[in-house]
Amino acid sequence: MNKLHSALIIAVVSLVTAALRFAPFLLFGKRRRKDGGLISWMSAVLPFAIMGMLVVFCLKDISFTSAADWMPQLICCALVAALQYFWDNTLLSIICGTAVYMLLVQLVFI
Amino acid sequence: MTRAQVVKKAFKTSLPVMAGYVVLAIGFSLLLGEKGFGFWWALAMSVFIYAGSMQYLTTGLLAGSVSLVSAAVTTFMVNARHLFYGVSMLEKYKDMGPFKPYIIFGLTDETYSLLCSDAEDLPLAQRRLYYFLVSLFNQIYWVTGTVIGSVIGRFLPFAATGIDFALTALFVTVFVQQWKQTDDHVPALIGLGATTLCLVLFGGNSFLIPAMLLISAALFALKVIRSRKQQKEDADE
């Protein structure tokens, strides 16, 4: 294995990742935005759409071939959503949801 | 708020990420170790790349010794979603002063979800410090997990299976929180619906970029529809 090549791969991955994170600020950061413009509309509504996207992104590996491949995730997502909706305590929702999930994948759906 | 209170608030905010990051970073180090890359490699990746799912994938790129071009293309495909985070943080991160480069560098999925609708009411100087600290604490957890994983990871028991669900749970709580904050649920539903549709159509490995394009198009259409409606109402009055 060529160490230099490995180091270069890591450098490329780092640079492309950083470039993607910095690009919007470099492209649109300096420009003065008028209210009602496309960029200000996008920055207002994107957070809502992005969180929906991230939730689905986390669940991308579920499949419906056997119960163990989807039930723990979907049950616990519903549990977390319900806890958060009614109690409004982020840490509590995450701890309960994760604990139940761990029980399910370790003891119930093996 | 005093400086100490800002630090405390930032720490409290970052707590949900702690467990998930430490565990996922341990998993990353173990995987990288299996491919023959030890402590310093793992540490360098968690310091400089600092992107969870990409680091997992990079272990494969390293093992396969892929070309630099295909490493760049893979990174672009997997991390293009960060473009979205930047666009939606343009306003919030506008006046971050000396902290700005680091908080942009540290804008991971999890940091984004903690900060995208948080602390808008703090005065600027405190907000800067707060955003910086939440970003920094998260990376500290990630690096700590990486170090634990490459030093003692092999001796850890496996009872932690499933603890990485903490990050999924975090995204669900933020989603619900945002849902409660607004009466306009169309953008949230566009995010869920468009991504699900693209996952079904394109499969788990290549749905993110189509999903981003579809979300952008749908949000743009929503803007056009609403401003037309507005114009029509204005004209009717």
Nearest to B161 among A10, A47, A106 (CB): A106
Contact A46 B84 (CB under 8 A): yes
Q: What is the pLDDT of residues B47-82, one digit of tens each?
A: 999 998 899 889 989 988 889 999 998 899 889 999
pLDDT at B53: 84
Partner A contacted by B215 (CB < 8 A): yes
Mean pLDDT over residues A12-29, rounded? Answer: 94
Contact B175 A106 (CB under 8 A): no
Distant-in-sequence, close-in-space partners of B156: CB < 8 Å, separation ≥ 6: B26
Residue B210 and residue A96: Cα distance in Å, rounded? 34
* Full DSSP string of B63-75: HHT--HHHHHHHH
Give B187's contacts in chain A (Cβ within 8 Å): 45-46, 48-49
Phi, then psi, of B91 in degrees rounded to 5: -70, -50
Nearest to B48 among A14, A52, A72 (CB): A14
- DSSP 3-state of B163: coil
pLDDT at B162: 82
Give B161's contacts in chain A (Cβ within 8 Å): 102, 105-106
pTM of the shown model: 0.86
Give A32's contacts in chain B (Cβ within 8 Å): none
Q: How confident is the model at residue B160 (pLDDT cuts 50, 70, 90)?
A: low
Predicted complex ipTM: 0.91
Task: Look at residue A1 and tell me whether its pLDDT is greater than 60.
Answer: no
Closest residue, chain A, to B166 (C-alpha)? A98
- DSSP 3-state of B93: coil
pLDDT at B118: 76
Task: Tell me the angle at which helices B68-79 and B208-236 cross, rounded to the nearest 10 degrees.
Answer: 40
Please provide the distance, in angstroms rounded to a whole number, between the alpha carbons at the two ends of chain B.
Answer: 47
Give A57's contacts in chain B (Cβ within 8 Å): 81, 195, 208
Task: Tell me the angle at which helices A3-28 and B81-89 cross, rounded to the nearest 10 degrees.
Answer: 40
Phi, then psi, of A49 in degrees rounded to 5: -70, -40
Mean pLDDT over residues B27-35, rounded? Answer: 87
